[in-house]
Amino acid sequence: MKKLLILVLIAGAVFGFYQLGGEQWLLPATYQELYQDNPWLTAGIYFSVYVAVTALSIPGAALMTLIGGAVFGLWTGLLIISFASTIGATLAFLMSRTLLKDWVQKKFGQYLNTINQGMEKDGAFYLFTLRLIPVVPFFAINLLMGLMPISAFRFYWVSQLGMLAGTAVYVNAGAQLGELEELSLAGIMNPGLLGAFVLLGLFPWFAKSLLGKYQVQRNLKARAHGRAKPAKFDDNLLVIGAGAAGLVSSIIGSATKAQVTLIEKHKMGGDCLNTGCVPSKAIIHAAKVVHESQKGLQSGLLKGNIEGIDFDKVMEHVHGSITAIEPHDSVERYEGLGVNCISGSGKLISPWEVEIETADGQQETRSAANIIIATGGKPRVPEIPGLDEVDYYTSDSLWDIKKLPAKMIVLGAGPIGCELGQAFARLGSQVTMVDRSELPMPREDDDVAQLVLESMLADGVIHKAGRSITELNKAAGGGYTAKLDNGEELAFDALLIAVGREANTQNIGLEELGISTDNNGFVEVDEYLQTNCPTIYACGDVIGGYQFTHVSAHEAWYASVNSLFGRFIRFKSDYRVIPWATFTAPEVARVGLNEKDATANGIDYEVTQYGLDDLDRAITDDAATGFVRVLTVPGKDKILGATIVGPRADDLISSFVTGMKHGLGLNKVLGTIHAYPTYMEANKYLAGMWKKKQVSAKLLDWLGKYHKRKLK
Ligand SMILES: Cc1cc2nc3c(=O)[nH]c(=O)nc-3n(C[C@H](O)[C@H](O)[C@H](O)COP(=O)(O)OP(=O)(O)OC[C@H]3O[C@@H](n4cnc5c(N)ncnc54)[C@H](O)[C@@H]3O)c2cc1C
């Protein structure tokens, strides 16, 4: 009943305002005339109208502020308006609270819990920022705040304080307008008026930047746990982790003359050099040599027999490759580039400081204006009963293997499982690949995965599709057994776990500093690769997403440039054109959309496919399996994505990566001379197929008729 009465009163007041010609009180002339004779009365009327307009949420508060400035001048105007606007806003707040708060909180309370908690904790600051930079209209703030858990008294004083600067800028603009004697160019060009309008334009920007700075300081203070910001830093940039992400971050820092320290707890080069790309590609090479030799024997090109492979030599090649590449990522090289390298484990202890436990057991604390977390990832190991009993391998430990396993189970058929499983099969292990999915490499189109699977089966891999391991046991006569979820038992002597990767975030101080991680445990960053702690950035595998060496390096550029120069200029990380390759046989390379992604996202596409069975070079190499597939915007020369399956797919994809990155279409590929006979020609033939589809049938019909005219 009480609420209904208030509603009726409000409606009546708004109606009355317009019925009684209230609009005239929104015009400057009304007040200017009155003010000469009756300053107090005028101020009283103006004050009351302002309160009514804001309390009833009638549009016109900004206009009234300008009028107030014009009529009363800066200081008197500011005094009147500051109180009138705050009192009016508080009345609107109280009305909204009385009429709607209980209903809203009852109906939506469960959804509003987080907002309510935030408001109770930080409501005053939140309101202050809204008042200073009104991203939401003035009247909406009043009404919305009425629904939130903030006291009327707090609402009043925060509003008055928060609106003061903005009100002053508006009143000043009004005052300058009021002094305008005539509407002439000379009048308008008056420095006072121009200055007032420049201030009006710049105020939101200035307020935002000031508020931003204050928020950063507040954020940092909350995470510092009493540790003061050092007056001077040891470094401009401190990087934790010397994998691809950390190395590139440091190089960029030192190239821009920043003092950079790079901390690595294990081996320079991280996963890619020591346990990832390099050893895996080296063992794939060894397996390919064996495979090609066997092919040579089968085809009769070679005579005799292969007595067996020398696994020690295979591993020698693997470790030899690492040793040969090591200098690229070495301490010597990086120190030569001006980076201070420390061998030790780094832990964040404040937004500016890292505690380092050095390799020789010493403790050291270093400070920096900016810190980059580049601690990478590690293989995920699932919980399987009996796993403790088994000396299993992951991609981290596989490279210490001494003997070629006779029977190997590879758990997981993603890119790593497929690459390594196929390599061991080609080297002579009996490999069984167990995976929950029906097809390997689930990110790729099904027919692409099918081609890879067929090739692996031909190499002797047994594929247990749609299966998982439920139990592992030691076998009586040595070795182990794995029980699958269909009850089947597999004997094996080596198990390789390749079921995905997780972030390396343990003991690096994330919890202590309140740095957020996502649901999968990866460090959360914004599009500038900044964490929720303003001085700390992160890049590479530790932030999840695409987990490739080249993406880590790409992200490192954004993390280092944004952290070092963010106060002047910042760049949003760009993931629009990211290529990748899986080094199975046949290789698979991708950029942009495949058919699976396009269909899932409802994106229209035109598909063109060229089979490598038609390519001269692939035929002469006895490698004519696979295809080049390109998705384009229907009717347009714009590449949406490309997938290549087959030999040299990793290199061939570059044509389309360049095309997508620089806005070049298939016409440009077609118009480029490619050497004969090369695999690259496949891309040109594909472009030709696409072009043929674009030419109108009608035009060809006319051309046929045109030529026919000249024939007998
Ligand atoms: C088997 C395998 C094959 C792969 N093949 C390819 C491929 O062909 N192409 C490709 O692009 N990508 C490949 N990858 C992925 C690639 O290796 C990663 O994407 C890349 O290494 C990520 O680099 P990063 O710098 O983010 O992390 P990492 O390389 O993991 O480096 C992180 C570093 O941080 C160090 N660290 C961690 N915690 C601390 C601490 N507290 N203090 C100091 N140091 C710390 C670690 O010791 C490590 O050296 C492969 C990965 C695997 C496992």
For residue range 643-680, list pLDDT tens digits in order: 999 999 999 999 999 999 999 999 999 999 999 999 99
Distance between CA atoms of 242 and 259, rounded to whole angstroms? 16
CA distance 134 to 141: 8
Nearest-atom index, ligand 1, CA of 550: 11
Burial class (CB in 10 A: 0-12, 13-18, 19+), 469: buried
- 678 against 180, higher pLDDT: 678
Q: Residue 99 pLDDT more than 90?
A: no
If you ran DSSP here, which 8-state letter would residue 99 be given? I
User: pLDDT tens, 246-275?
Assistant: 999 999 999 999 999 999 999 999 999 999
d(CA 637, CA 624): 28
Could you give the C-alpha distances from 662 to 20, 638, 655, in angstroms and in order?
A: 65, 11, 11
**What's the 270 CA to ligand 1 centre distance in angstroms?**
5
**Residues 6+ positions from 452 with CB-CB distance below 8 Å:** 418, 440, 441, 444, 582, 584, 586, 588, 645
105-109, 123-127, 420-424: which range is least confident on average? 105-109
Query: Comparing C-alpha atoms, which of 144, 142, 155, 86 is closest to residue 115?
Result: 144
Q: How far apart are CA 91 and CA 52, in angstroms?
A: 9
In the predicted model, is pLDDT for residue 3 greater than 70? no
pTM for the full model? 0.84
Band of the pLDDT at 470, cuts 50, 70, 90? very high
The pLDDT of residue 1 is: 60
Residue minimizing CA distance to atom 52 of ligand 1 = 276
Separation of CA 511 and ligand 1 centre (Å): 22
How many other CB atoms sit within 10 Å of the CB of residue 79? 15
State yes or no: pLDDT of 689 exceeds 90.
Answer: yes
Distance, in Å, from the CA atom of 640 to the CA atom of 642, rounded to the nearest integer, reads 7
Instruction: State mean pLDDT over 593-622.
Output: 97
* Comparison of pLDDT for 101 and 371, the residue scoring more: 371
Residue nearest to atom 48 of ligand 1 (CA): 270
Q: How far apart are CA 498 and CA 420, in angstroms?
A: 9
**Ligand 1 interacting residues, C-beta cut-off 6 A:** 240-246, 263-266, 270-272, 276-277, 280, 345-346, 374-377, 395, 416, 504, 508, 540-542, 547-550, 552
Tokens of 664: 């070049």
Residues 6+ apart with CB under 8 A from 226: none
CB atoms within 10 A of CB 310: 11
The tens digit of pLDDT for each residue in 300-340 reads 999 988 888 999 999 999 999 999 999 999 999 999 999 99
Distance CA 146, CA 97 (A): 4
Q: How far is the CA of 355 from the centre of ligand 1 (A)?
A: 22
Task: Calculate mean pLDDT across residues 467-472.
Answer: 97
Token reading at 610: 């060229």
Q: Which residues contact 616 (CB under 8 A, 6 or more apart)?
A: 676, 677, 681
* pLDDT score for 17: 67
> Which of 315, 476, 501, 472 is CA-nearest to residue 409?
472
CA of 272 to the centre of ligand 1 (A): 5
Q: Which two tokens stand for residue 459?
A: 């190499």
The arithmetic mean of pLDDT across residues 145-168, rounded, is 89
Instruction: For residue 583, count other CB atoms closer than 10 A to its CB.
Output: 21
DSSP state of 448: H
Q: Whose CA is nearest to atom 30 of ligand 1?
A: 376
E strands of 266-315, at which residues? none
Question: What is the band of 225 on the pLDDT scale with cuts at 50, 70, 90?
Answer: confident
Ligand 1 centroid–CA 290 distance in Å is 28
Q: Which residues pair with 538 in a beta bridge?
A: 373
The percentage of the chain sitting over the pLDDT mark of 90, rounded to a whole number, equals 71
Range of weakest confidence among 149-158, 232-241, 579-588: 149-158
Give residue 183's pLDDT. 54
Distance CA 412, CA 418 (A): 8
Of 321, 282, 308, 326, the C-alpha closest to 419 is 282
Chain position carrying tokens 């714009």: 638
Mean per-residue pLDDT of the chain: 92
Distance CA 664, CA 297 (A): 45
Q: For residue 246, give Cα distances in angstroms to 80, 260, 308, 555.
A: 58, 11, 41, 10
Side-chain-facing half-sphere of 678: CA atoms under 13 Å: 10
CA–CA distance, 376 with 545 (Å, rounded to integer): 12
Confidence of residue 587 (pLDDT cuts 50, 70, 90): very high
Ligand 1 pocket test target in 358, 549, 555 with most atoms within 8 Å of CB: 549
Strands, E assignment, 79-144:
none
What local confidence, expressed as pLDDT, does residue 208 receive? 82
What is the reported pLDDT for 403?
A: 96
Model confidence at 576: pLDDT above 60: yes
The pLDDT value recorded for residue 27 is 64
492/406 Cα distance (integer angstroms) = 8
pLDDT confidence tier of residue 477, bands split at 50, 70 and 90: confident
Query: Distance, CA 501 to ligand 1 centroid (Å)?
Result: 10
Nearest CA, atom 19, ligand 1: 548
Query: Where do the DSSP E strands lie in 577-692?
Result: 579-582, 588-592, 606-611, 627-632, 639-645
Phi, psi of 70 (to 5 degrees): -65, -40
Dump pLDDT digits (tens) for 494-523. 999 999 999 999 999 999 999 999 999 999
pLDDT tens profile 119-141 = 777 788 888 888 877 667 788 88
More confident residue, 215 or 485: 485
Q: What's the whole-number mean pLDDT along residues 548-570?
A: 97
